[in-house]
């Protein structure tokens, strides 16, 4: 191998390392800098957003169907990658958890991975908000269009809403959630490991138990990934009602360390992004919508009553006029 070829290889390795460092160096502390190396992070259709009830469009035809979510599986590899704790699906395509239904135009989307965002205090943590309400934890289950693509990377490159993320909120209660123990135990094992260290799941996990009890009520909108490169290729399905975990289980999140910085990973949520004219569809009659309808009905009722009163008074005035007219006529 001559010197020129050797020099070319060395330069190529240096450039690749710089590219990797650039991709990995982003932090939640300086989110404005994300768009310097990732231009799409300043795009108009970014996530997360605040789901304002006044912006909702009712679409009660929206449905989500879950396939293999009720099947116990240990086919997950768990990694502390410095920004979150991520569970990658490593099983075969036959038993891969999937979502489909009218919310995804009938296409099947296969699970790629799921991860968490949390706060170091319970009053912070979730990326999305519902009517400005913040939850302590938000879980993202990332799926890709399995009908048309063989892999997540292919679906991501297509840039045509071929990625769907299911967002689940978690509230904190005093009692531990036994269905969450498999998750919290692995998170505890990753507290003292180095960044990008992975362990395979040993116990079986049933994803269905991580969902809220009511899976019919959710919101849908078009957005992006909430971390660099912020690709705007995502159909967001945000559940309205939270699941619950115990305070002890929540505490285990707070002790996960990013070993590059030596700091806890918590507060790993992106700042809210502007809606910029996007529509948010709602699969159910939101209480605010119901209240507005009731107010409108009340307005109509009040107007009807007012019209009746005016009509009655007019009739009384007319009768009084006729009576007086007859009185003067025969006087």
pLDDT bucket at 16, cuts 50 / 70 / 90? very low
CB atoms near residue 21 (< 10 Å): 9
Q: Is 130 helix (H, G, I), strand (E, B) or coil?
A: strand
Q: How far apart are CA 74 and CA 182, in angstroms?
A: 10
- Express each pLDDT in 40-75 by its tens digit: 999 999 999 999 999 999 999 999 999 999 999 999
- Contact between residue 42 and residue 56 where contact means Cβ atoms under 8 Å apart: no
- Express each pLDDT in 180-206 by its tens digit: 999 999 999 888 667 778 999 989 999
- Express each pLDDT in 130-181 by its tens digit: 999 999 999 999 999 999 999 999 999 887 889 999 999 999 999 999 999 9
Q: Note the pLDDT of residue 10.
A: 40
**DSSP secondary structure, 192-248, as one string:** TSPTTEEEE--S-B-GGGGS-S--S-EEEEEE--SSTT--S-EEEEEESS-EEEEHH
Q: How far apart are CA 221 and CA 5, in angstroms?
A: 50
Whole-prediction pTM value? 0.81
CB atoms near residue 86 (< 10 Å): 19
**DSSP secondary structure, 24-79, as one string:** H---STTGGGHHHH-GGGGSSS-S--EE-GGGEEE-TT---EEESTTS-B--EEEE
CATH of 26-288, one of 3.30.70.330, 3.40.50.150, 3.10.200.10, 3.40.50.300: 3.10.200.10
Q: Which long-range contacts (CB under 8 A, 24 or more apart) does 249-253 make?
A: 249/176, 249/177, 249/180, 249/181, 249/183, 249/184, 250/118, 250/122, 250/136, 250/137, 250/170, 250/172, 252/184, 252/187, 252/188, 252/191, 253/85, 253/116, 253/118, 253/137, 253/187
CA distance to 85, 88, 259, per residue, from 80 (Å): 5, 11, 10
- Contact between residue 195 and residue 222 where contact means Cβ atoms under 8 Å apart: no
> Which DSSP letter does residue 86 get?
E
For the chain, give every domain's residue range. 26-288
Q: For the ranges 122-136, 216-230, 283-297, 314-328, which has the lowest average pLDDT?
A: 314-328
Question: Which percentage of the chain shows pLDDT scores above 70?
Answer: 79
- Express each pLDDT in 238-256 by its tens digit: 999 999 999 999 999 999 9
């Amino acid at each position: 191998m001559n010197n020129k070829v050797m020099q070319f290889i060395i330069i190529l390795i240096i450039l690749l390392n710089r590219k990797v460092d650039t991709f990995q160096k982003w932090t939640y502390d300086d989110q404005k800098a994300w768009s310097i190396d990732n231009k799409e992070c300043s795009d108009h259709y970014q996530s997360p957003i605040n789901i304002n009830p006044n912006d909702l469009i009712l679409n009660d035809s929206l449905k989500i169907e879950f396939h293999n979510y009720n099947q116990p599986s240990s086919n997950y590899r768990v990694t502390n990658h410095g920004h979150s704790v991520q569970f990658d699906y490593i099983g075969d395509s036959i038993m891969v958890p999937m979502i489909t239904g009218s919310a995804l135009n009938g296409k099947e989307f296969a699970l790629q991975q799921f991860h968490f965002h949390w706060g170091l205090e319970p009053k912070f943590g979730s990326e999305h908000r519902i009517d400005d309400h913040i939850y302590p934890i938000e879980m993202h289950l990332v799926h890709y269009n399995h009908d048309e693509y063989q892999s997540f990377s292919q679906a991501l490159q297509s840039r045509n809403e071929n990625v769907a993320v299911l967002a689940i909120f978690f509230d904190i209660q005093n009692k531990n959630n036994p269905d969450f123990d498999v998750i919290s135990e692995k998170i505890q094992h990753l507290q003292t490991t180095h960044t990008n260290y992975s362990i395979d799941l040993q116990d079986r996990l049933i994803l269905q138990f991580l969902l809220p009890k009511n899976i019919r009520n959710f919101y849908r909108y078009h957005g992006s990934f909430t971390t660099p490169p912020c690709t705007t290729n995502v159909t967001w399905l945000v559940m309205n009602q939270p699941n619950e975990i115990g305070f002890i289980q929540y505490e285990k999140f707070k002790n996960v360390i990013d070993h590059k910085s030596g700091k806890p990973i918590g507060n790993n949520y992106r700042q809210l992004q502007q809606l910029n004219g996007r529509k948010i569809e709602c699969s159910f009659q939101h209480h605010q919508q119901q209240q507005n309808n009731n107010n409108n009905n009340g307005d109509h009722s009040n107007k009807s009553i007012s019209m009746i009163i005016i009509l009655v008074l007019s009739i009384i005035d007319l009768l009084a006029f006729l009576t007086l007219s007859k009185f003067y006529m025969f006087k």
